[in-house]
């Protein structure tokens, strides 16, 4: 595991452990800024989409509007 992998894992753990959506949004903004300044930011995706939503969207025939498959937008995962 690279140092970047460890940092991204810690960032994802911090967001997942945050007590509410407001705290997750603050952490996400802070972590995005820090990762960007360190040259480590490569994007994020929504946790529900990654875990469940994408498969449900495909099963639903890939409708043009995928917003109902994204889930809580404050729960993100960096990659």
Average pLDDT estimate for 40-61? 96
CB distance 8 to 31 below 8 Å: no
78 phi, psi to nearest 5 deg? -75, 155
15's CB contacts (< 8 A; 6+ apart) are: 24, 27, 28, 31, 75, 76, 77
Mean pLDDT score, 11-32:
95
The pLDDT of residue 1: 87
Q: State how far the Cα of 12 lies from the Cα of 8, in Å rounded to an integer.
A: 6
With beta carbons less than 8 A apart as the criterion, state whether 14 and 27 touch.
yes
Specify the pTM: 0.81
């Amino acid at each position: 595991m690279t140092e970047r992998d460890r940092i991204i894992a810690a960032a994802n753990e911090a967001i997942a452990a945050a007590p509410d959506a407001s705290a997750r949004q603050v952490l996400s903004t802070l972590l995005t800024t820090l990762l960007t300044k360190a040259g480590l930011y490569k994007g994020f995706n929504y946790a529900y989409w990654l875990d469940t939503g994408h498969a449900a969207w495909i099963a639903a025939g890939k409708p043009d509007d995928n917003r109902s498959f994204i889930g809580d937008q404050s729960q993100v995962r960096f990659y």
